[in-house]
Amino acid sequence: MKISELRARTGNVDVTGEIVSIEPAREVVNKFGKKFKVANATLRDDSGEILLSLWNEDAEAFSQGDTVRIEKGWVSEFQGRLQLSAGKYGKITKL
């Protein structure tokens, strides 16, 4: 699937692209007090770009310039912008 084809609230998406930028990982705490790491990155393919959220161990496993494949990913929308993540059942791998 191409980035330009992604739509909010869509699951089970497979996307390949290059990480063109990545922010440092930061710690967030959910409403139950559990801590997580998250890093925002920009993923690009030949059709466009999308915000990629990298959670926990993925937040520090990837770098700018890496080509990655997201399998069974989840697309959401935050502040009017599409956002892709591996989600609960997906995975992200470096190619």
Q: Among residues 91, 31, 23, 29, which one has the least CA distance to residue 63?
A: 23
Domain ranges of the chain: 3-94
Superfamily of domain 3-94: Nucleic acid-binding proteins (2.40.50.140)
Determine the 3-state secondary structure of 57 from DSSP: helix
5-58 tens-digit pLDDT: 999 999 999 999 999 999 999 999 988 999 999 999 999 999 999 999 999 999
* pTM assigned to the model: 0.90
Burial code (b: 16+ CB inside 10 Å, e: under 16) for 2-15 equals: ebeebeeeeeebeb
